[in-house]
Structure 1
Amino acid sequence: MDCQTCTTPMELLLTIDSSEWDGGSGSWKPMEERALPAHPSARPTEVVVGRAGELNVFACPADRGHPHRWSIQ
């Protein structure tokens, strides 16, 4: 993603995910949480982005004053 002000490639600043691990398939799960049920254990904060996706926030490395951009996946 490029900065809309100066066209510099932006850097990922922050990702907010809807789950801490894959509650659907169990493809990744912390060892200490293996015995817990998939839901709501995978979402302890109860934050849901869009339709259970993730929010990525990007910042311009050339100038911190340029507007941030974001995407939801």
Structure 2
Amino acid sequence: MRLLLTVDSSEWDGGSGSWKPVEDQRLPTHLDAAPTEVVVGRHGELNLSTCPADHDHPHRWSIQ
């Protein structure tokens, strides 16, 4: 399986601000880490995978 898509609940780590973009450094971390307001599970991420050998195989997904 090959990772096709990841949907995350936040743009960066809302607690520590790690991986926060330079242009967003002035913004409050806890308010602006999720500008799309998309929440996966309990603020996790959704990973969608596909089979590169045969596109007729079903996609697989996991929530972490």
TM-score (norm 1): 0.83
Cα deviation for residue 59 of structure 1 reads 0.1
Cα deviation for residue 47 of structure 1 reads 0.3
Counterpart of 2:53, as a letter, is A
Counterparts of 1:27 and 1:46 in 2: how far apart (Å)? 19
Q: Which structure has the greater CA radius of gyration? A: 1
Residue ranges of structure 2 left out of the alignment (5+ in a row)? none
1:20 aligns with 2:36: no
* Runs of 4+ with deviation above 6 angstroms: none
Cα deviation for residue 39 of structure 1 reads 2.6
Which residue number corresponds to residue 54 of structure 1?
45
RMSD over aligned Cα, in angstroms? 0.8
Indicate which of 36, 49, 61 corresponds to 1:45: 36
Residue ranges of structure 1 left out of the alignment (5+ in a row)? 1-9
